[in-house]
Structure 1
Amino acid sequence: MTDRDLALLTSGEVELVGQFARSSNATFLVRLTQGDDVAQAVYKPEAGEQPLSDFDPGLYKRERGAYLLSEALGWGMVPPTVIREDAPLGVGSLQWFIDCDFRQHYFTLAAEDPSTHPELARMALFDFISNNTDRKSGHVLRGGDGRIWGIDHGLCFSAAFKLRTVIWDFAGEAIPDGLLADIAPLAEAVPEELAGLLDDDENAALKRRARRILQDGTLPVDLTGSRYPWPLV
C-alpha cells in the first residue's frame, strides 16, 4: 500500500456506493476520494451490526484487530483496515477493497492450484491464533496479482475457543520454523494497539493459543468434525 492509498483510507472522503447482499451485518461498498485520488473500500458500521449473544457490539474493532495481528506476524494476509468515526453511518471499519475474481474462493483455489497451498495453510494457522469463528470459503480471495487475502474477521478473538473454518485440508501438518518464529512473540505479549481492542480475557487467550501452537508445532486438527461455519461458502 502506498502512502497515497493509506491517506485515502485514513482521511479520504467516504461516499456510500452500495450495500453487499446476503451479509449478516450491514456492509457497504464505499468510494474514497482525496483530491484527484480515488479508491474503493468496504465499510462495516457498528450501527449495522446484528446483536449477538457471544460477542459484544463493536465487531468493527475485531476487523481492525485481525489486520493488526496479520501485520504483527509479518504475514500481510488481511487487507489494510482502519477505524473511521467520520464515516456516513457512524463509527466502523474501512477495509481496502480487493479487486479479484469472486468466482474463486478457498475450495476452488485448494482444488485447482496447489501453488496456493502454503498460503492457505498459513491462513489456517492465522485462524487458529485469531480464533476465527467464521472462515467461510468465500472469505478467501485471490487478488488480481495472485496474492491470497483473508477477509471478514468480525468474529475473531473470543476468549472461549470458537474456531470454525473450512480450511482443514492441512490439519496435522508440521508448521515451518519460520512461521513458528513469527508467532513466538505473541506467546509473551500482544501488540499494544491490538491489546487495546480486546479485553483482558481475550488477550490472555490469544497468548495461550500462541503457546499451544509453539508447543505442538503442527496445524490444528478438528477431532469433532464439526468446526465448520455455515454456510460453507
Structure 2
Amino acid sequence: MSAPERIPPRSVTTAEQLTEQLTEQLIGQLTELLTEGELTVRGRIREASNAVLLCDVSYEGREASCVYKPVAGEQPLWDFPDGTLAQREVAAYEVSEATGWGLVPPTVLRDGPYGEGMCQLWIDPPDSDGGSGDGGGELLALVDAEEPGEGWKAVGRAEVGEGRTALLVHADDERLRRMAVLDAVINNADRKGGHLLPAPGGRLYGIDHGVTFNTENKLRTLLWGWAGEKLTPEAVEALERLRDALGGALGARLGELITEAELDATRARVAALLASGRHPEPSGDWPAIPWPPV
C-alpha cells in the first residue's frame, strides 16, 4: 500500500494567484479532507485557554495535520454566547475567502471525537520540513526609540520591566495591512502576535478567531499602525466584493454561523469602512491592545 499523500497549505503569494484553478482545486481538496476525513488526536496544545487538539486527518489516500477545537472544550465568556466560538472561527474563514486574500487557513465545522467543533488546517512554520520557505521576516518588535524606523509602523509604548518602556512596532507589510482590514470587518477582539503565522512561500495566516463578530465595537489588535490612514485601492475592492457577497451567498452562509444581529453589524462595518475610506482608529470604549500582546 502506498503512503497517504500529504496535502500542504497554500503557498501562493499574490491576490491574483488566489484565483488560479489549481489553487481552487487544492482548497476544495483541503475542505473535503477536513470535513470528511477521519480525525486522530495526537495531543493537546496546553497554552490555549480552550481545548485545542492537534490531530491527523485522513481521507481517500490524503492526509494532513489539523487543529480540532471541540465546542465542549470552550470556556464561557461574559460577552459572547456560550458554545459559539467554533462557528465564529468558521465565519472568519468564510469572510477571509470572500475577500480573495486567503488570510485564514481552511476551516470547517464538523463532528469529531469529542463532539462538534472547529477543524482547521495546521500551518507548518517556514523551514520546519527542512526546506527553504520564506516567512517574510520579522513582523513585530520592541524598540528603544521614540519613532519607528523605516519599514515599521508604531503601535504604542509598552512596559518592559523595571519602570522602563519601549516602542511596540509592527512591519509596514501588505500582508499585515490586509489582516488589519479583515480584523476590522470581523471585529476581532484578540489579534495577538502569536495569532500571526508566517508560512512557507511568504504566506501569512491569522488564527484564533473565536472572539469575533460581536455587535459591539470590540476591535483589539496589535495592528494599529495604519489607524486613520486611507485604505489601499486593493482593500477598497475587497470590501466592495464583501459588500456584494454579504447580500448573497456569503450572507446566507454566515447566517448559519452567527446571529442575524451580528450579520447586520458585519454589513454595517463593511459599509462604514467604505464610507470613510480609512482604517479604523481605537474607539476608546474598549482596550485597544490585547493582553498579553503575544
Fold conserved (TM > 0.5)? yes
Aligned 8 A contact 1:172 1:221 in 2: yes
2:66 to 11, 21, 41: 41
Higher percent of residues as helix: 1
2:269 maps to a residue whose letter is R
Matched, 1:117 2:177: no
8 Å Cα contact 2:135-2:201 kept in structure 1: no
Whether the aligned pair in 1 keeps the contact of 2:184 and 2:219 (CA below 8 Å) is yes
Query: In the alignment, what sits opposite 2:254?
Result: 194
Shift of 1:45: 0.4
1:198/1:107 CA distance change after superposition, 3 Å: farther
Q: Structure 2 CA distance, aligned partners of 1:109 and 1:118? A: 11
TM-superposed CA distance for 1:5, in Å, is: 2.9
State the match for 2:95 in structure 1.
Answer: 69
- Identify the match of residue 234 of structure 2 among 168, 173, 178: 178
**Are 1:12 and 2:37 an aligned pair?**
yes
Return the alpha-carbon distance in structure 2 between the equivalents of residues 107 and 144 of structure 1: 12
Q: What SS is found at the alignment partner of 1:17?
A: strand
Matched, 1:158 2:237: no
| Other structure's SS at 2:64 match | strand
Per the TM alignment, residue 106 of structure 1 is displaced from its structure 2 partner at its CA by 11
Greater radius of gyration (CA)? 2
Distance 2:121 2:222 in 1: 24
Q: Given the alignment, which residue of 268, 279, 286 partners 1:219?
A: 279
- Of residues 174, 177, 188, the one that matches 1:132 is 188
| Percentage of identical aligned residues | 39
Q: TM-score, normalised by structure 1?
A: 0.90
Q: Which amino acid letter does the alignment assign opposite residue 181 of structure 1?
A: E
Conservation of the 8 A alpha-carbon contact between 1:106 and 1:141: no
1:158-185 CA distances to partner (integer Å, 9 max, x unpaired)?
1111111111112222111232122125
CA shift for structure 1 position 11: 0.8
Give the gaps of 5 or more residues in structure 2: 1-9, 11-25, 128-133, 142-148, 152-170
Secondary structure of the residue that 2:173 maps to in structure 1?
helix
User: Would the alpha carbon gap of residues 4 and 216 (structure 1) be closer, same or farther in structure 2, given more than 3 Å must change?
Assistant: closer
1:32 is paired with a residue whose SS is strand
1:72 shift after superposition: 1.1
Judge conservation of contact 1:163–1:227 (CA < 8 Å) in 2: yes
Question: 3-state SS of the aligned residue for 1:62?
Answer: helix
Amino acid at match of 1:228: I
**For residue 114 of structure 2, what is the aligned residue in structure 1?**
89
Could you say what secondary structure the match of 2:200 adopts?
A: coil
| Contact residue 186 and residue 210 of structure 1 kept, 8 A | yes
Amino acid at match of 1:144: P
CA–CA distance in 1 between the matches of 2:65 and 2:266?
32
* Structure 1 stretch displaced more, 168-177 or 67-76: 168-177
Q: Contact between 1:106 and 1:138, CA under 8 Å: does it hold in 2?
A: no
Cα shift at 1:223: 5.5
What amino acid maps onto 1:54 in structure 2? D
Task: Quote how far apart the aligned CAs of 1:220 are.
Answer: 1.4
Q: TM-score, normalised by structure 2?
A: 0.72
Range 90-99 or range 36-45, more displaced: 36-45
Change (3 A) 1:13 1:134: same
The separation in 2 between residues aligned to 1:105 and 1:44, in whole angstroms, is 26
* Structure 1 counterpart of 2:208, one-letter code: D
Compute the RMSD of aligned alpha carbons.
Answer: 2.7
Question: For residues 5-50 of structure 1, what are the alpha-carbon distances to aligned partners after superposition, in whole Å with 9 as ceiling and x for unaligned?
Answer: 3332111110100101220111010001224322100111000000
Does the Cα contact within 8 Å between 1:110 and 1:117 map onto a contact in 2?
no
**Structure-1 separation of matches of 2:241 and 2:58:** 38
| Counterpart for residue 55 of structure 2 | 30
